[in-house]
């Protein structure tokens, strides 16, 4: 396992977590088909026009040099291509214009691609997974990464994020030839947000990181079986602990009928006026723009 330096939490005291990039050969569970459906409501407080766009890359609190790359499946309303692209190799950047004083609501669907979309990366307590301890060890299970939904306000103070909702999905596969059990946490979790839906029903891990309600599941899987997990966060929210006992089902795919399907980067995507596009915003952000998230103030 590869370790990096611990972070500093909001309190300013030394954190007890460290980043871990999982060694695939040491993990019985594999993650695949990681998806995200994001809805945001943003106001332009400036007297001039502003733009915001989808970002192809998520780093959040993942280990240094570890990112999840995304392909756009659809946008609503249709996105337009931006003048500058951070990741042209993934199709270029697409986003939206927002007029002075205007409040705009947009939604888009994303599909993870590449190694980080398949292999779990997570955090563990520094003292919980040290092989120097003997004869018994704590088992932390698969952990989580986090980000700040309103990072767009740091990138552009003229833009005010009013609302953010993200529905994430992933498939877990037991590749072992034995039955395997353990705790599996949401691979991506927003800070200062609340879980409004999960399937199967999740419990809340509120001790993982300050102001972060992490959806978690106690999972037991038979050999070579798989299970799909869906969970939805809403921002802003004051975290008070606990999870909703019951929640209405959420729509995890809102693909508008706005054109034929096209093939891009190995995934089926839907054309939405503009081809597809990616967006630097509260949920999925370019690593270079938001490296500060590793120092949670």
Helix (H) and strand (E) counts in the chain: 1, 20
The model's pLDDT over 5-37, given as tens digits with 9 standing for 90+, comes to: 223 333 333 334 444 455 556 778 888 899 999
**C-alpha–C-alpha distance, residues 232 and 167, integer Å:** 4
In this prediction, residues 224-253 reach a mean pLDDT of: 69
CA dihedral 214, 215, 221, 226 (to 10 degrees): -110
Average pLDDT over residues 278-286: 32
Tens of pLDDT along 218-227?
A: 999 999 899 9
The pLDDT tens digits of the residues spanning 54-98 come to 988 887 777 666 788 899 999 999 999 999 988 888 888 999 999
Span 180-200, mean pLDDT?
A: 93
Q: What are phi and psi of 153, to 5 degrees?
A: -70, -25
- 17-21 and 2-3: which strand pairing? antiparallel
Between 46 and 11, the more confident residue is 46
* Cα 279–Cα 283–Cα 195 angle in degrees, nearest 5: 150
Q: Cβ(230)–Cβ(198) under 8 Å?
A: yes
């Amino acid at each position: 396992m590869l370790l990096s330096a611990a972070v500093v939490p909001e309190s300013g005291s030394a954190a007890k977590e460290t980043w871990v990039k999982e060694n695939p050969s040491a993990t019985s569970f594999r993650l695949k088909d990681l998806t995200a459906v994001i809805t945001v409501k943003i106001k332009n407080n400036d007297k001039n026009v502003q733009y915001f766009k989808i970002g192809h890359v998520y780093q959040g609190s993942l280990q240094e040099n570890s990112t999840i790359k995304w392909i756009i499946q659809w946008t609503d309303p249709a996105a337009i291509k931006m003048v500058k692209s951070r990741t042209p190799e993934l199709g270029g950047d697409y986003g939206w214009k927002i007029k002075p004083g205007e409040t705009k609501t947009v939604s888009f669907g994303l599909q993870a691609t590449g190694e980080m979309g398949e292999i779990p990366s997570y955090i563990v307590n520094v003292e919980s997974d040290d092989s120097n301890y003997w004869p018994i060890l704590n088992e932390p299970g698969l952990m989580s990464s986090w980000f700040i939904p309103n990072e767009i306000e740091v990138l552009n103070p003229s833009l005010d994020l009013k609302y953010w909702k993200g529905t994430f999905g992933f498939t877990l596969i037991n590749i072992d030839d034995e039955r395997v059990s353990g705790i599996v946490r949401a691979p991506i979790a927003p800070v200062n947000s609340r879980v409004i839906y999960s399937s199967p029903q999740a419990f809340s891990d509120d001790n993982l990181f300050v102001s972060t309600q992490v959806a978690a599941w106690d999972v037991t899987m038979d050999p070579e079986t798989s299970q799909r997990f869906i969970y939805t966060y809403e921002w802003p929210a004051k975290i008070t602990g606990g999870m909703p006992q019951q929640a209405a089902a959420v729509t995890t795919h809102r693909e508008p009928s706005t054109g034929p399907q096209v093939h891009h980067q190995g995934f089926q995507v839907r054309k939405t006026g503009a081809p597809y596009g990616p967006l630097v915003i509260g949920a999925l952000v370019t690593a270079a723009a938001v490296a500060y998230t590793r120092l949670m103030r």
